[in-house]
Structure 1
Amino acid sequence: MSQPQNLRLSEIYIYPIKSLGGISLQQTEVEDRGLKYDRRWMLVDEAGKFLTQRQHAQMALLQVSIKEHGLLVTHKQDLQEPLLVPFESAQSSGPDMQVTIWDDTVIAQEVDPAVSAWFTKALGMPARLVKMPEASRRLVDNAYAAEGEIVSFADDFPFLIIGQSSLDDLNSRLEKEYIPINRFRPNFVFTGGEPFEEDQWGHLTIGDLNFYGAKPCARCVVTTIDQATGEKGQEPLRTLSTYRLKNNKVMFGQNLLHSSVGVVSVGDEVRVRTWR
């Protein structure tokens, strides 16, 4: 395929605490395991298993923002006083513990029992906030990894990219509601190009940094949760299942790996170097 023109990075998002509200950025750093701060923290149950909106939609009501000295967590319905999670305490947190994400077992550290108590009250269920220490190494699935890449507490891959034209295509097919991009929890959104062309990307650059398409992203029930209210519906999965079904899974967005570290900014040019 020929090189598409005028592809631009239009939005950047991170999700410091897995499955809580994301943060829109104009610029950020690409590190070895993903975007800076992205999914470096996670909530787990008493057995150390990760908590997710898939089973606990109320997690959508907790919003994270980055302040100078830590993460500020607020409740979107103001049902609880805000919580500051200092970066310092996260660095000097408790003893190592094992936590599980899907089939992976990872070393983590509980940030602070008092912080965990705040989340337990906010969510109405036992919850502990843990952080991934720098020494913890979680590998990307060997079926897709090229050079033993590592990843944070993200589901599988360091990055997810979605074209604005793909979202526009979906919304053009919906009868009533408009689905915002936050339902899909991307790291990168770009403008230009054709709907779903990101499915076929191989090697691409964003600014000066190198990324590689790993696999299209299979979507789950989280996409049906209104991120402002925590309420579940049927869209967009109902509509996407009519034209984006592969191996009985709904696909939307492309998972990425990378071989560069540096800075990405909104407005950076996106160039497709090879197609799959």
Structure 2
Amino acid sequence: MITISSLTIYPVKSLQGIPLQQATLTTQGLAFDRQWMVVDANGHFLTQRQLPKMAQIRVQLTADALILTHDTLPPLTIALQPKPAQRIEVVVWRDHCPADDEGDAATQWLTQVLGQWQSGDLRLVRFADDFTRHVDPNYMHGDPADTAFSDGYPFLIVSEASLQALNEQLVAHGASPVPMTRFRPNIVISGIEAFGEDRCEALSAVTKAYRFTIRKPCQRCKTTTVDQQTGVISNPKEPLKTLTAMNPYPHLNGAYFGQNATLTIGEKQVIKIGDVLLR
């Protein structure tokens, strides 16, 4: 029996996640997922690939605020209710998106914590609520889908068994096992064989309340080498080296782990830990 074993949102792209017992489904992902992003002075997105210390910033959501905390400064509080803000253009990979700048206080806080990037200050931006960022149509088979500031897809699904299989290979090659947090999934499932998510076309709630369509394997990057609490990279080669060797996709080069997905049924439905899924 396939069940949901954990749910996580990452309100600010590449900062720490928030584990949840349940979440509301939207076409852009779990509610509040990747609705904010750190950008450089030119509006280009920044992640742990460039600034591993981003992993040190803790994130909270209250009924009315986004709160960022770090050991070196008082918390930064951002009201959830949008205020009149400067609209700027930001860049996420190949996509140019309008976004709302969260102001100078956020800029000062982030730049003090993380430092400048390429001699410029950092800014915190919020995804524009009147903009639709479409998912790459090459993998959609004609289906519509959109996302916020995720790399490309609104949901990332990984199984516990896949992590166990990876860790067995890491240990066998003399490396340390890694926790699931390294892969920053939204939805973790149990009760399916290792890499079984790679062989699913869809995963649906047994109640038929919602359905995810599996779109493409997730190619992994340097972020998987970053400790998601400390921002430290103790082994810059792993787990990427082992994932590359395990690659089940002969036509693809690189390290892959987990599946990108979109929501095809169930907008505004609630997803919970313990939900039973069918494939």
Which of 224, 243, 247 is residue 244 of structure 1 equivalent to? 247
Q: Distance in 1 between the 2:205 and 2:39 partners?
A: 34
List aligned pairs for 1:25-104, cutoff 5 A.
Answer: 25-75=20-70, 78-88=71-81, 91-104=82-95
Deviation at 1:236, TM superposition (A): 1.0
Deviation at 1:245, TM superposition (A): 6.0
**Letter of the structure 1 residue corresponding to residue 101 of structure 2:** E
Deviation at 1:68, TM superposition (A): 2.2
Q: 2:218 matched to which residue of 1?
A: 217
SS at match of 2:53: helix
Give per-residue Cα distances to partners, 1:122-157, cap 9 Å, x unaligned. 111111100012101100011123332110100000
Q: 1:173 matched to which residue of 2?
A: 169
Give per-residue Cα distances to partners, 1:78-133, cap 9 Å, x unaligned. 12221111112xx1141321100000000101012211211111111111100012
Tell me whether 189-198 or 141-150 shows the greater mean CA deviation.
141-150
Q: 1:190 matched to which residue of 2?
A: 189
Q: 1:200 matched to which residue of 2?
A: 199
Alignment of 1:163 onto 2:159: yes
Q: 1:3 matched to which residue of 2?
A: none
**Letter of the structure 2 residue corresponding to residue 242 of structure 1:** A
Alignment of 1:128 onto 2:129: no
Q: Distance in 2 between the 1:253 and 1:265 partners?
A: 20
Alignment of 1:255 onto 2:260: yes
Number of equivalent positions = 263
Q: 1:149 matched to which residue of 2?
A: 145
Which of 9, 18, 21 is residue 23 of structure 1 equivalent to? 18
Which of 238, 243, 247 is residue 235 of structure 1 equivalent to? 238
Deviation at 1:229, TM superposition (A): 1.5
Q: Distance in 2 between the 1:74 and 1:68 partners?
A: 17
SS at match of 1:17: coil
Q: Distance in 2 between the 1:144 and 1:241 partners?
A: 22
Q: Would the aligned equivalents of 1:9 and 1:206 in 2 still touch at CA under 8 Å?
A: no
Q: 1:112 matched to which residue of 2?
A: 103
**Letter of the structure 1 residue corresponding to residue 78 of structure 2:** V
Q: Distance in 1 between the 2:91 and 2:243 partners?
A: 30
Tell me the percent identity. 38
Q: Distance in 2 between the 1:18 and 1:254 partners?
A: 18
TM-score, length-normalised on structure 1? Answer: 0.92
Q: Distance in 2 between the 1:133 and 1:228 partners?
A: 29
**Letter of the structure 2 residue corresponding to residue 241 of structure 1:** T
* CA 253–210 in structure 1, closer or farther in 2 if over 3 Å, else same: same
Tell me whether 180-189 or 195-204 shows the greater mean CA deviation.
195-204
**Letter of the structure 1 residue corresponding to residue 54 of structure 2:** M
Greater than 3 Å deviation, 4+ residue runs: none
Tell me whether 192-201 or 11-20 shows the greater mean CA deviation.
192-201
Q: Would the aligned equivalents of 1:109 and 1:133 in 2 still touch at CA under 8 Å?
A: yes
Q: Distance in 2 between the 1:73 and 1:200 partners?
A: 38
SS at match of 1:82: strand
Give per-residue Cα distances to partners, 1:29-76, cap 9 Å, x unaligned. 00121110000000110000001101111111111111222111112x
